[in-house]
């Protein structure tokens, strides 16, 4: 734990940006490929806790989530490895809930996006308030087993939060949907599968494609998204798949897509949410540490996180 300004901080059960708890989730259960499971360790190694101590009174590294995984099950090519996804989500939720109840602002460092169901559940349990989701990603992750081109749950997780998909994954915690469609904003998407695009068009999800973000300008687009979510939610959780960023600036992604947000654009947009006073959690996902051997991009991502929480 790193403390700043106060050696004996007073903890409340209200999440505050002045007290940050870092949680690692180094699992690739909803995806395939090497390197992204090393992302949380790489960001820590690049000095994340030290950098955060410059902007927060208390920074605690709460360690990594530990999950007891059943055997991998890829027997259904349209829904790969669902039981491991469920196991990790069930392990994530109490860790996030505990961080909130201890007064920490939870900062999640993850390998891939399918575990978002556990994060959202933990936030809602720990805060006891409705939350909205701003999901920054080059992709929509709004496929279902009927529309998926890959079978990877990491490409379906937003749809599952909204109750679309098999009960095994949409009802992990005994209630569905976890979020209503109008509580979700997808930001920076520019690689949508045609069926996914059609589903989003017919939904109440607030879709900010990269074209729309450019048209409105990133900060204004984020302000609009934040205001829309706060009509139905008390707090906002921001989930970042780093492929929302332009690969010319951050190349250590799993599925790079051209014409993304620049680091400065992303930082300025995220500050809009932070300055609303309603930000209740932040996740940074899918950083492929093997593509960043000198740690340069890890440091840039740490600076992005720090600027957001400043």
Q: What is the CA radius of gyration of the chain?
A: 18
Q: What does the pLDDT read at residue 11?
A: 31
The fold of 12-309 is 3.40.800
The three-state (H, E, C) secondary structure of the chain, written as one string: CEECCCCCCCCCCCCCCCEEEEEEECCCCCCCCCCHHHHHHHHHHCCHHHHHCCCCCEEEEEEECCCCCCCCCCCCCCCCCHHHHHHHHHHHHHHHHHHHHCCCEEEEEECCHHHHHHHHHHHHHHHCCCEEEEEECCCCCCCCCCCCCCCCHHHCHHHHHCCCCCHHHHCCCCCCCCCCHHHEEEEEECCCCHHHHHHHHHCCCEEEEHHHHHHHCHHHHHHHHHHHHCCCCCEEEEEEEHHHECCCCCCCCCCCCCCCECHHHHHHHHHHHHHCCCEEEEEEECCCHHHCCCCHHHHHHHHHHHHHHC
Structure tokens at 250: 């951050």
Q: Which of 43, 90, 91, 41 is nearest to 66 (CA)?
A: 91
Record the tokens describing residue 145, joined without a space.
């087993």
Q: Please, what's the b/e burial string for 147-163 (b: 16 or more CB within 10 A of its CB; e: otherwise)?
A: bbeebbbbbbbbbbbbb
Q: What is the CA 285 to chain-centroid distance, rounded?
A: 6
Per-residue model confidence (pLDDT) at position 292: 98
What is the distance between the alpha carbons of residues 198 and 55, in angstroms, rounded to a whole number? Answer: 42
How much is the pLDDT for 9?
A: 34
Q: What is the pLDDT of residue 168?
A: 98
Q: Provide the residue ranges of all domains of the chain, joining segments of one domain with +.
A: 12-309
Residue 14 is predicted with a pLDDT of: 54
Peptide bond into 63 cis (omega under 30): no
Give the per-residue pLDDT at 16: 73
pLDDT of amino acid 13? 41
pLDDT attached to residue 159: 98
- CA 52 to chain CA mean position, Å: 18
pTM score of the predicted model: 0.95
**Tens digit of pLDDT at every position of the chain (310 positions):** 543 333 333 333 456 789 999 999 999 999 988 999 999 999 999 999 999 999 999 999 999 999 999 999 999 999 999 999 999 999 999 999 999 999 999 999 999 999 999 999 999 999 999 999 999 999 999 999 999 999 999 999 999 999 999 999 999 999 999 999 999 999 999 999 999 999 999 999 999 999 999 999 999 999 999 999 999 999 999 999 999 999 999 999 999 999 999 999 999 999 999 999 999 999 999 999 999 999 999 999 999 999 999 8
C-alpha distances (whole Å) from 97 to each of 18, 21, 57, 103, 111 are 18, 11, 21, 10, 20
């Amino acid at each position: 734990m790193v403390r700043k300004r106060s050696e004996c901080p007073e903890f409340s059960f209200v999440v505050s940006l002045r007290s940050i708890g870092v949680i690692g989730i180094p699992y690739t259960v909803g995806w395939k490929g090497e390197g992204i499971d090393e992302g949380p360790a790489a960001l820590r190694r690049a000095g994340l806790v030290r950098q955060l101590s410059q902007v927060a009174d208390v920074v605690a590294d709460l360690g990594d989530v530990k999950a007891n995984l059943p055997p991998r099950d890829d027997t259904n090519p349209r829904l790969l490895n669902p039981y491991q996804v469920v196991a990790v989500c069930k392990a994530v939720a109490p860790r996030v809930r505990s961080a909130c109840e201890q007064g920490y602002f939870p900062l999640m460092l993850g390998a891939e996006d399918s575990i978002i169901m556990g994060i959202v559940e933990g936030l809602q349990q720990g805060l006891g308030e409705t939350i909205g989701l701003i999901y920054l990603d080059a992709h929509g992750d709004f496929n279902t087993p009927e529309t998926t081109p890959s079978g990877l749950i990491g490409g379906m997780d937003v749809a599952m939060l909204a109750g679309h998909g098999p009960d095994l994954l949409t009802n992990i915690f005994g209630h569905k949907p976890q979020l209503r469609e109008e509580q979700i904003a997808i930001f920076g998407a520019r690689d949508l599968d045609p069926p996914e695009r059609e589903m989003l068009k017919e939904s109440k999800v607030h879709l900010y494609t990269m074209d729309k973000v450019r048209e409105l300008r990133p900060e204004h687009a984020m302000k609009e998204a934040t205001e829309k979510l706060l009509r139905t939610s008390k707090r906002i959780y921001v989930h970042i798949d780093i492929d929302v960023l332009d690969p010319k600036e951050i190349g250590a992604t799993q599925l790079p897509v051209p014409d993304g947000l620049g680091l400065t654009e992303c930082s300025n947009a995220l500050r809009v949410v932070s300055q609303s006073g309603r930000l209740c959690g932040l996740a940074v996902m899918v950083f492929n540490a093997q593509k960043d051997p000198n740690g340069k991009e890890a440091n840039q991502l740490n600076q992005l996180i720090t600027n957001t929480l400043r």
